[in-house]
Amino acid sequence: MSSNIDLVVFGARGDLAKRKLLPALYQLDKAGLLAESTRIAAIAREAIDSVAFIQQTGDLLKANVTTGDWDDKVWTRFSRRLHYIKIDFSQKKEFASLREWIVDKRTMIYYLATPPSLFGPISKHLYDADCVTSTSRIVLEKPIGHDLQSSEQVNGSVGTYFTERNIYRIDHYLGKETVQNLLALRFANRMINSQWDNSCIDHVQITAAETVGIEGRWSYYDKVGQLRDMVQNHLLQLLCMVAMEPPSSLQADEIRAEKVKLLRALRPINEDKVEDLAVRGQYSAGWISGVPVVGYMEEEGSESDSSNNETYVALKVNIDNWRWAGVPFYLRTGKRMQDKVTTVVIVYKDNPHSLFPETNSEANNKLVIRLQPNEGIQLEMVSKKQSLKERLETEKRTLNLDFFDSSGESRIADAYERLFLEVIKGDQWLFVSRDEIEASWRWCDRLLSSWREKKVPTKSYSAGSWGPSKAEILIESDNRSWYEG
Ligand code: BG6
């Protein structure tokens, strides 16, 4: 456990801090993973005093952590670490009150849960107020910019005051236990690893479907869309974990270098192919779990009569390298879909010659990696049907590995707990490097510009469905279909 560390959370009154950051820190304290001396400064613009902030945080945590996780003794210890400081982030002189709180020679971790437009100014004010030393770390929430150029600006301005070694860019998908498990699955299992290429794999599907809509964020989301919100970061990071070459070690630099290589090998989606390779959708009214929900244009906060912003994306992505030549990766993600699921499905090739004519292609081996919910891995195989009547009839069977059941733990840690822990340890392996961010923006910018040039409209889909029918055509025109497991 790293001692000598203090944490500062900017944007401590925001949604992310309330829903994720403060609960994650509480859980780390409960698990005995915060050093006794670690203090936490919560920073926001609101004029409330520290006592009121602590009281409200206690109420919030009590309401949010599951009953079994609440512990009065842990809360008493945790609350003693907390201190609220009111700062207007745009006012340089107000950072003096943070400076007063800082104890020299301790390692400071600054967590910026603020809009990215503030990353540069906050870094500068921290530096000017003498709050930055060579050991200070800064944690940046996504989005880092909205295109390559703006991400370069954000990275450049933060990089003026913090070295790359001390910048931790969050992609919370990398903090998910099951995403890390992809590394173990691929690189600790010779059997899997030796068949992880175009000689055995037909195609790969990555799905991140959500039932939620845009949750009151209309004006923000309408400028962003699902490609920037989910693909540029989470889906491309998943793709990297699935498709990158084996790193020579699990050191951050080695893993990140492999991810950059993979991102640079993604074939650009240009105008001439964009309508065949990419589908945009927008949800209309429908039903989610038996409850009626409005369409995107009728969502609270909607500011215009029409919008061509996408709430759904399906893509066919090609990777131009030796391992993956000829193996398409189908990616899809959307809001207001039928179920909340994140899966990676590896579909293996047919046998070169079938001894079992009745085995149809539905029986192809599939490795299904369920990232959420019910985290685990299933291997779909073919085995003989137990029967005296038939000579050798086959059927599809499933080998099931349930991560949760087999872990012996009472809960799966939230992504933010793992990510805080790694920042505290000073290990960047689960954080995104500047090169990765820029490579993924370069690829997304190309696609966005192809959509713009071709004026590609969004296709409507009903809330509660699996997206527009064009997304079915995207995969079915290759004689394949989305996994529905
Ligand atoms: C966030 C997106 O990064 O990820 C949200 O901004 C999305 O729009 C969320 O809902 C999904 O995260 P998870 O962990 O619930 O899959």
The CATH number of the domain where 95 resides is what?
3.40.50.720
Note down the domain range covering 324: 174-410+431-476
Position in ligand 1 atom list of the atom nearest CA 415: 14
Position in ligand 1 atom list of the atom nearest CA 372: 16
Are 327 and 401 members of one domain? Answer: yes
Are 185 and 125 members of one domain? Answer: no
- Judge whether 342 and 207 are in contact, CB under 8 Å: yes
Q: Select from 229, 344, 375 the residue to mutate for testing ligand 1; criterion: most ligand atoms less than 8 Å from CB.
A: 229
Strand bridging mode 40-44 / 366-372: unpaired
Of the candidates 422, 439, 441, 442, the one whose C-alpha atom is nearest the C-alpha of residue 430 is: 422
Which residue type, as a one-letter code, is found at position 400? N
pTM of the complete model: 0.95
The pLDDT of residue 396 is: 86
The pLDDT of residue 71 is: 92
Say how many Å lie between the CA of residue 281 and the centre of ligand 1.
18
Strand bridging mode 82-86 / 40-44: parallel
Are 129 and 275 members of one domain? Answer: no
Are 271 and 372 members of one domain? Answer: yes
Are 353 and 397 members of one domain? Answer: yes
Position in ligand 1 atom list of the atom nearest CA 210: 10
Instruction: With respect to residue 425, please indicate whether it lies within any of the assigned structural domains.
Output: no
Instruction: With respect to residue 135, please indicate whether it lies within any of the assigned structural domains.
Output: yes
Instruction: With respect to residue 303, please indicate whether it lies within any of the assigned structural domains.
Output: yes
Instruction: With respect to residue 79, please indicate whether it lies within any of the assigned structural domains.
Output: yes
The pLDDT of residue 336 is: 98
Binding site membership of 229 for ligand 1 (Cβ less than 6 Å): yes
Classify the C-alpha dihedral 109-111-116-118 as positive or negative. negative
Say how many Å lie between the CA of residue 221 and the centre of ligand 1.
12
Instruction: With respect to residue 154, please indicate whether it lies within any of the assigned structural domains.
Output: no
Domain final residue pick, 120, 141, 162: 141
What are 12's two structure tokens?
């401590």
The enclosing H or E element of 182 equals helix 177-187
Active site residues: 234
Distance of alpha carbon 123 from alpha carbon 116, whole angstroms: 11
End-to-end CA distance of the chain: 41
Are 136 and 191 members of one domain? Answer: no
Three-class secondary structure of residue 400 per DSSP: strand
Query: DSSP code of 474?
Result: H
Say how many Å lie between the CA of residue 216 and the centre of ligand 1.
14
Three-class secondary structure of residue 209 per DSSP: strand
For every one of its 485 residues, what pLDDT tens digit does the chain have, with 9 covering 90 and above?
677 999 999 999 999 999 999 999 999 999 999 999 999 999 999 999 999 999 999 999 998 887 678 999 999 999 999 999 999 988 889 999 999 999 999 999 999 999 999 999 999 999 999 999 999 999 999 989 999 999 999 999 999 999 999 999 999 999 998 899 899 999 999 999 999 999 999 999 999 999 999 988 898 899 999 999 999 999 999 999 999 999 999 999 999 999 999 999 999 999 999 999 999 999 999 999 999 999 999 999 888 888 999 999 999 999 999 999 999 999 999 999 999 999 999 999 988 887 876 655 456 899 999 998 888 899 999 888 888 887 888 888 899 988 777 666 777 889 999 999 999 999 999 999 999 999 999 999 999 999 999 999 999 999 999 999 999 999 999 999 999 87
Domain final residue pick, 86, 117, 141: 141
Give the total number of structural domains in the chain.
2
Say how many Å lie between the CA of residue 277 and the centre of ligand 1.
24
Instruction: With respect to residue 297, please indicate whether it lies within any of the assigned structural domains.
Output: yes
The CATH number of the domain where 343 resides is what?
3.30.360.10
Say how many Å lie between the CA of residue 121 and the centre of ligand 1.
26
Q: Select from 144, 230, 339 the residue to mutate for testing ligand 1; criterion: most ligand atoms less than 8 Å from CB.
A: 230
Are 215 and 364 members of one domain? Answer: yes
> Which residue puts its alpha carbon closest to atom 8 of ligand 1?
229
Binding site membership of 210 for ligand 1 (Cβ less than 6 Å): yes
- Determine the angle formed by the axes of helices 236-243 and 252-264, rounding to 10 degrees: 110
Counting beta carbons within 10 angstroms of the beta carbon of residue 264, is it exposed (0 to 12), middle (13 to 18) or buried (19 or more)?
Answer: middle
Instruction: With respect to residue 416, please indicate whether it lies within any of the assigned structural domains.
Output: no
Instruction: With respect to residue 419, please indicate whether it lies within any of the assigned structural domains.
Output: no
Are 197 and 71 members of one domain? Answer: no
- Spatial neighbors of 205 by CB under 8 A, at least 6 apart, are 329, 330, 331, 332, 343, 344, 345, 347, 482, 483
Position in ligand 1 atom list of the atom nearest CA 217: 8
Are 229 and 110 members of one domain? Answer: no
The pLDDT of residue 406 is: 67
- Spatial neighbors of 413 by CB under 8 A, at least 6 apart, are 27, 177
Are 310 and 385 members of one domain? Answer: yes
Are 130 and 203 members of one domain? Answer: no
Are 240 and 116 members of one domain? Answer: no
